[in-house]
Structure 1
Amino acid sequence: MNATLEELMRLVPPATRPPIGDWDSAEQALHHHLPTDYKDLVNLYGSGAFCGYLELLVPPGVWEPYDIVEFNDGHGDYAVDVWREEDEKPHEFSADLGYELIAWASTIDGDTLYWLAHTDQKPESWRTLLVSEDLAVWEHYDAPAPAVLLGLLTGEIDSDIVTPDLSAVTFKPYPA
């Protein structure tokens, strides 16, 4: 287990041992291997909400409303289609540079945390693009998903989009 996950566990211990979903089918459906540290994060916490606000997407067989495959079905494509018509857009989508959006978490406000996935990059090097619900505001993070999550929960990442209540950092698991 990496240091970021250990620090996250000290900050907010996982409540229970969650069911392990089918990562192989998720990766096959998404046409990408997913970052190992993210799979480790989800295997530790499962489906649930950090601070009652930020929700991880999980592999099939864990919790259907937050199934990473179902959530990503057309979700990132919609954002890219909207940005094609806009003057302001993330620079990765100002030309056909080969990036794909793969969502890994969402908020109760409808904001989404995506990986900027590229076939020429290893999944562990994917950056995070945090996008507001209306697709008008986005923030880039050059860090793996668990580090972005930890930064948002500790306040080390100051986001104009994601604003969890940090008075008590909690994790509430959803039923399996």
Structure 2
Amino acid sequence: MDTPARKGHQVQNFQFRELLGVPLVNGDTVADWEAIERTSHITLPADYKEFVSAYGPGCINDQMYLFHPRAQRGDHGLRLESLWEQASYSYGELTQSDPHSRRHPIYPEEGGYFAVARSISGNHIFLVPPDENRKQWQVAVEMGAWFIFEMTFANFLRAALCEELDVPVIQGEPSFEQMGGIGFE
């Protein structure tokens, strides 16, 4: 069921229609992101927010779960704040068990990477915030090793769906299955 946008910027002519079909949520980027950005004190990249607001929480190619800031609680655990908590805990535990492993900060740590998706095998996709060395947001994928992609989320996702990355993040015919709904809390 489509959820109508309530106010603010509505996603139009979305670039992923030819790969994933018509966006299912017709989301409102202002309403979707206002609370979580205020709480996290960060403004996430527009291309990422527009994609998530357009398609909502769900699974890409039956391989990668996409999280949404207003996914209804209990909807297969696809609420973005839940992913942030899980990733912070998981990577914190890994660091404690192997303190010599390659360490990247995970939100809510200072300069931390923001988890935005998780594969069915438990690998994470992160947005890497700009800093003194990086002027733009980038994408990082942890698949037993860390891979940094110097590209926007939209460019990364398009390349992953078209199997143009050196790392097999997503494979097969592009598809999207919405999971759960969006709450207006």
Fold-level similarity (TM above 0.5): yes
Shift of the 130–32 alpha-carbon distance from structure 1 to 2, 3 Å rule, reads same
For residue 126 of structure 2, give the secondary structure of its aligned residue in structure 1.
Answer: strand
How much has 1:37 moved relative to structure 2? 0.8
Does residue 1:17 correspond to 2:17, yes or no? no
TM-score, L = length of structure 1: 0.75
Letter matched to residue 113 of structure 2: L
Letter matched to residue 177 of structure 2: K
Percent of aligned pairs with the same amino acid: 17
Partner residue, 2:149: 141
Would you identify which runs of 4 or more consecutive aligned residues in structure 1 move more than 6 Å? Answer: none
- Looking at structure 2, the residues matched to 18 and 110 of structure 1 have their Cα atoms a distance apart, in angstroms, of 28
Does residue 1:52 correspond to 2:62, yes or no? yes
How much has 1:10 moved relative to structure 2? 1.4
Do the aligned partners of 1:55 and 1:105 also contact (CA within 8 Å) in 2? yes
Unmatched 5+ stretches in structure 2: 1-10
- Looking at structure 2, the residues matched to 24 and 89 of structure 1 have their Cα atoms a distance apart, in angstroms, of 33
TM-score, L = length of structure 2: 0.72
**Greater RCO, CA 8 A, separation 6+:** 1
How much has 1:107 moved relative to structure 2? 1.0
Partner residue, 2:8: none
Unmatched 5+ stretches in structure 1: none
Does residue 1:125 correspond to 2:99, yes or no? no
- Looking at structure 1, the residues matched to 80 and 25 of structure 2 have their Cα atoms a distance apart, in angstroms, of 19
Letter matched to residue 126 of structure 2: Y
Do the aligned partners of 1:14 and 1:171 also contact (CA within 8 Å) in 2? no
Partner residue, 2:122: 110
Shift of the 76–118 alpha-carbon distance from structure 1 to 2, 3 Å rule, reads farther
How much has 1:102 moved relative to structure 2? 0.7
Do the aligned partners of 2:116 and 2:126 also contact (CA within 8 Å) in 1? yes
CA deviation string 1:78-136 (max 9, x = no partner): 4256347443415x56xxxx5302111111111110112256689x811111012xxx3
Provide the aligned length of Structure 1 versus Structure 2.
163
- Looking at structure 2, the residues matched to 78 and 111 of structure 1 have their Cα atoms a distance apart, in angstroms, of 11
